[in-house]
Amino acid sequence: MASIILNGITWGHSRGITPLLAISQRYSELHPEVEIRWKKRSLQEFADFPIEKLTEAYDLLIIDHPWVGCAAATLCVLPLNEYLPSDYLQDQANNSVGASYESYVYNGSLWALPIDAATPAASYRKDLLPQPPQTWDELLQLAKAGKVAVPGIPIDILMHFYSFCIAFGATPFANEYEVIDAATGVQAIECMQQLYSLVDRRMFDCNPIAVAELISSTNDFWYCPFAYAYSNYSRAGFAKYLLHYTDVVALNGKQLQTTIGGTGLSVSAFSKHKSVAVDVAKMMVDGEMQRTMYMQHGGQPGHRSAWTDGTANELTNGFFNAVLPVMDNGYMRPRYNGYLNFQDHAGTPLRTCLMENGDPAKALQLMNELYRQSIHQNSTTLSV
């Protein structure tokens, strides 16, 4: 019977749970006195439930990087830079996939290790669509034919909105008064309306997993222009049909810049076994482990060496090579304490506008109101 039990919480997809179980099993084989138990939540619960509450019950937590502002304010997870060797941290920083490592550094501390890296990328059925769209106009033509699936739930629509704002020349959250200037915001929403007015209404209830499942299990849809990428669907045997991933389309002659996601591994400040939990985290995010066991068991590593590894790309039909340029070009969301409240609600007026062909200016006004509230409720200011 193990004398030390660690409890961990993650999200309920093969990418989010299976590699953790595999490495935890191996850790317990090497350290028989330690047992690691993982609980999984849905992707929506992962986004919605306050993680700071979970730190009271779990030793290890898989988190989303916009939460680190809250972590810094509440100190409910450990600043891992104070617990891990400097050479280990330097290796992590040197092998970041895009801004993955940087996204967990806030106010001078590292609040999680980048265990998983992801960003929206295009996916398609090569057996049905040998050459995917390269431009926005080509995408619209395929959408008119009814062959395009795209996530349409509020949070994903919000992530795509950031991309379109950047495409029209302005970076969101440049000041504390508005998400984006009115001219850019309206132009971005109008462009999104072009696409979302053409797709199946079911898309407004689909997250990236649901879209990947639709394309990989039926012949109804051939292509997705942007959804958080899952290497699982590029692996033989995972789904009925194989998905291939590629860069997103160009708009105004330039590739869209997508909004990075992925996850980090945090250690609760309330853990009764902090040193053991840190050691587990260190093992899971180690480059060699990420490149081998983590990747082999369905993980999408946060360590760059796994993304450039020949075996990893052979196993996933080139997924990592294809998506890495999109990751490296990715946009990192704000992380101030209070941003998550904005993220939880701001996609709703945007989704309503797209569903009902509504007024973009009105949707943007509601988003700006939510943004100002998210800043003032915590008396915080924007910070990187």
CA 270 to mean position of chain CA atoms:
26
pLDDT on residue 384 = 41
Tell me which residue of 164, 142, 167, 118 sits closest to 354, measured CA to CA.
164
pLDDT, position 380: 47
pTM above 0.85, yes or no: yes
How far is 145 from 293, CA to CA, in rounded Å?
A: 41
What integer pLDDT is reported at residue 243 of this predicted model? Answer: 98
- Residue in 355, 352, 356 with CA at minimum distance from that of residue 366: 352
What is the C-alpha separation between 318 and 311, in angstroms, rounded?
10
Which amino acid makes up residue 81? N
Cβ 227 vs Cβ 151: under 8 Å: yes
Q: Among 341-345, 366-370, 377-381, which is the least confidently predicted range?
A: 377-381
Q: At 114, is the pLDDT very low, low, confident or very high (cuts 50, 70, 90)?
A: very high
Distance between CA 245 and CA 228 in Å, rounded?
A: 11
Residues 6+ positions from 85 with CB-CB distance below 8 Å: none
As a whole number, the mean pLDDT across the chain is: 95
User: Quick one: what percent of the chain has pLDDT higher than 90?
Assistant: 93
Higher pLDDT, 1 or 340: 340
- Note the pLDDT of residue 383: 45
Tens-place pLDDT, residues 14-68: 999 999 999 999 999 999 999 999 999 876 665 566 788 899 999 999 999 999 9
Average of per-residue pLDDT across 186-213: 98
Task: Tell me the three state secondary structure of residue 227.
Answer: strand
Count Cβ atoms within 10 A of the Cβ of residue 347 and give its class: 0-12 exposed, 13-18 middle, 19 or more buried.
Answer: buried
Predicted local confidence at residue 19, as pLDDT: 98
The SS3 of residue 74 is helix
> Which amino acid is residue 209, in one-letter code?
I
Q: Specify burial of residue 69 (Cβ count, 10 A radius: 0-12, 13-18, 19+).
A: buried
* pLDDT at position 145: 98
Q: Residue 320 burial (CB < 10 Å; 0-12/13-18/19+)? A: buried
Output the pLDDT for position 43. 60
pLDDT confidence band for 290 (50 / 70 / 90):
very high
Q: What average pLDDT does this structure show over 351-380? A: 92
Q: CB of 40 within 8 A of CB of 16?
A: yes
DSSP string for 279-314: HHHHHHHSHHHIIIIIHHTT--BSBHHHHT-HHHHH
Q: Confidence class of residue 227 from pLDDT cuts 50, 70 and 90?
A: very high
Instruction: Give the model's pLDDT for residue 378.
Output: 64
Q: State the pLDDT at residue 251.
A: 96
Residues across the chain: 384
* pLDDT higher than threshold 90 for residue 74: yes
Going through 140-258 in order, the beta strands assigned E by DSSP cover 223-228, 244-246, 250-251, 254-255
The answer to whether the CB of 261 falls within 8 A of the CB of 323 is: no
Instruction: Report in angstroms the alpha-carbon separations of 315 from 19, 212, 239, 290, 309.
Output: 15, 18, 14, 14, 10
pLDDT in tens, 209-224: 999 999 999 999 999 9
Radius of gyration from C-alpha coordinates of the chain: 20
User: CA dihedral defined by 81, 84, 86, 91, rounded to 10 degrees?
Assistant: -100
If you average pLDDT over residues 222-249, what whole number do you get? Answer: 98
Q: What is the pLDDT of residue 245?
A: 98
CA–CA distance from 245 to each of 70, 148, 153, 287 (Å)?
34, 14, 21, 24
Task: Kindly tell me if the per-residue pLDDT of 160 is higher than 60.
Answer: yes
